[in-house]
Amino acid sequence: MPVPAVVDLVVDAPAAAVHRGCARATVTVRPEQSIGPVDGALRVYEGCRVVPGLAAQLHDFGDVSLELGVLPPGWHTLTAAYTGGSRYGCASTRPFTVLVLPAGTITELRVPANGVAPGDSLVVTVRTTDASSRACGTVGLYEQSRLIATGEVVDGIGTVGVPTWLRSGLHRVFAAYSGSDTHCPSETQVVAVAVRD
């Protein structure tokens, strides 16, 4: 039985990426001596665990692009590994480290032009700066520095109820998204809301 030929793997990865962003690592797969097409798979490991979403079936030599945004925020020490195939033996890279940052967000507050009544709801949207994912978590409605109401954001959309005790008149408010493990906090500009009787 012939000894499998050797495959080299070379990684080019950024030092940092954003969760659900478009940063990629490139793994170049090349033979030391070509004896035919490559088969098998390229997988990325963190410790002993295969990272879901960071794998590719190989049909040719060259560059394999891996989306680092699938990783959760935090430091990750990764190793790319070729599983071996019918002609080539297994190979792996040296460990490489990537810092994945939470996605930046933009929070917007929709205020009806004709004002609101106590008990009505205001719609809050929270989107990532690159529109790559939808945020979830808690949003607060503030008048100056006073928290006057809270609500939940699910898939980027939430509502905040106007308190029934809020007096009629013009109020200057803003909404603040508290952030999550995967998304940074953000807040709206201060806007004027007319509360009707």
Q: Is the per-residue pLDDT at 178 higher than 80?
A: yes
Question: What pLDDT score does 5 carry?
Answer: 64
Q: Is the per-residue pLDDT at 163 higher than 80?
A: yes
Percentage of the residues of the chain whose pLDDT score is greater than 70: 97
Instruction: Give the C-alpha separation, 86 to 91, whole Å.
Output: 14
Q: How many CA atoms lie within 13 A of 30 on its CB side?
A: 8
Tokens matching residue 181:
């493990």
Name the CATH superfamily for 7-101: Immunoglobulins (2.60.40.10)
On average, the pLDDT of the chain sits at 90
| Measured CA angle at 117 (ends 111, 121), to 5 deg | 55
Residue 50, H or E segment: strand 49-57
Question: What pLDDT score does 61 carry?
Answer: 86
Q: Is the per-residue pLDDT at 3 higher than 80?
A: no
Instruction: Give the C-alpha separation, 182 to 104, whole Å.
Output: 9
Instruction: List beta partners, residue 148.
Output: none
pLDDT in tens, 101-157: 999 999 999 999 999 998 999 999 998 887 777 899 999 999 999 999 999 999 999
In sequence order, which residues have a C-beta less than 8 Å from that of residue 9 and are 6 or more positions away? 27, 28, 29, 42, 80, 81, 82, 91, 92, 93
Question: What pLDDT score does 105 carry?
Answer: 94
Q: Is the per-residue pLDDT at 1 higher than 60?
A: no
Q: Return the domain boundaries, the chain.
A: 7-101, 105-195
More confident position, 174 or 32: 174
pLDDT mean over 68-91: 91
Q: Say how many Å lie between the first and final Cα of the chain, rounded.
A: 88
Instruction: Give the C-alpha separation, 34 to 76, whole Å.
Output: 33
Residues 88/38, Cβ–Cβ less than 8 Å: yes
Instruction: List beta partners, residue 123.
Output: 110, 159
Per CATH, 7-101 and 105-195 having the same topology is answered yes
Residues 70/32, Cβ–Cβ less than 8 Å: no
Question: What pLDDT score does 71 carry?
Answer: 93
CATH class of the 105-195 domain in this structure: mainly beta
69 backbone dihedrals φ, ψ, rounded to 5°: -65, -10
